[in-house]
Amino acid sequence: MTDVADTNASGTPPFDALLTAIRRALGAGAAPPVAVTGAGALPSVCPVSDLAAASVAAAGLALAELVAARFGERPAVAVDRRLAALWFARSLAPQGWELPPVWDAVAGDYRAADGWIRLHTNAPHHRAAALSVLGSAPERAAVAEAVAGWTADALEAAIVAAGGCAAAMRSAAAWAAHPQGAAVAREPLVSWEDGEAGPDGLLAEARPDRPLAGLRVLDLTRVLAGPIATRLLAGYGATVLRLDPPDWDEPNVLPETTLGKACARLDLKDPAGRARFEALLSGADVLVHGYRPDALARLGLDAAARARLRPGLIDVGLDAYGWTGPWRERRGFDSLVQMSCGLAEAGMRGADRPAPLPVQALDHATGYVMAAAVLHGLARRLATGRGCAARTALARTAALLLAAPPAPPEPAPAPLGPDDCMDAPEPTAWGPALRLRPPLILAGVPMRWDRPAGRLGAAAPDW
């Protein structure tokens, strides 16, 4: 496995080391020059702003190489490091309305009998699972009292067994010694498998200034990495259809993650819904999914079935804790992976409670890596006629960041100003909002979205 540490023997700056590691994982060559602008860094024990800029740059270089493969000339790539870090926090400023709270009232870090544990309760069924194990009222003081009577590992195991989401805080050394940490360390950042030959005509509608026009992307992802990947694809012209179960909602992130997409509902557990999905997949060019490793297989939609339904498919999958090891089926989110793998503990040194990264950097960076994997997959298909499957995981992005060289001290990025936003407000489904200018610039290839952010289920499940 090639990791960022392997690229840093001569004191390579963190941006260059991270970009090199991501490019190698994607099967790409040495990175062409990338113009990096923007001052300031998010405060963290890890080089989060460099990870933001490097992951955005990796997606930009992948798109530039796809443009070159399709049209013969590679556009220059530039990244605004400050804007990239700000996009990792949020990309829009509501005008006359407010975003919902990011976290449920119960979610957060609690002191157990022997350490710390994080409860992730944003989804109602995850909250119900945690409260049922604790026997607690849905109030922070009552939850804290109940958590204090458990050891962190025992409570983590009980909540996970009940169908909830929790993570005990571990150090990086403890994670490395854990069976799942060891399994993740053996996985590549991106794994690849060749697929079947597909029909001709890929990107037939593309133009140099709209290089993904006509590309059909089926999005089976939710909070947060997968939607970031498909948001970037939509920004360069892809038709993205997001599918969610009938009862799913994530109101606190939808203004960020639905930009550029048609959002429909479909029950894959229902025979009629599964048949509709198969019809949609047969007309797709790309599938991006964030289900746990065997979830689609249990529905009769394993990788082989998907390849049969759509020969030439670019199939990109995401898991939280990795694709091998005892936790490969475990539910997980960015904040939980940070607790498990040592990031929150590293930030806590000198503090009295866990100190996670200043943004959900694992989600965002992994999203851009997924987008880059899609774009590299498309270039491979143009060259060979064959589809491919790529897989990555939040826990592997965490390993990438933990191995990165430290960044020199910098002041925080300057606050947002009027020049940081696009000229016209975006008419989102919740009200007008100012959207940040994109952090990625390709010469002659603007990033823009044809649909404003909208609610789930607002569209029909159809191309």
**Ordered mean pLDDT values, 10 residues apiece, the chain (463 residues):** 50 93 95 94 96 98 98 97 96 94 95 98 96 97 98 98 98 98 98 95 97 98 96 98 95 96 96 96 97 89 94 97 96 97 93 94 98 98 97 98 93 89 96 97 98 97 97
> Rounded to the nearest 5°, which phi and psi values hold at 64?
-60, -40
Phi-psi region of 218 (alpha: psi -120 to 50; beta: other; left: phi over 0): beta
Q: How far apart are the first and last CA of the chain?
A: 39
Give me the pLDDT at residue 292, please: 85
Give me the pLDDT at residue 3, please: 61
The overall pTM is greater than 0.85:
yes
Give me the pLDDT at residue 8, please: 47
Q: Which two tokens stand for residue 91?
A: 């990309």
Contact 235, 211 (CB under 8 A): no
d(CA 16, CA 301) in angstroms, rounded, equals: 39
Residue of 406, 334, 344 lying closest to 366 (CA atoms): 334
Give the number of residues written for the chain. Answer: 463
Q: Which residue has the tokens 């990947």?
A: 229
Q: Which two tokens stand for residue 333?
A: 């989110």
Give me the pLDDT at residue 4, please: 61
Per DSSP, the chain holds a count of helices (H) and strands (E) of 17, 16
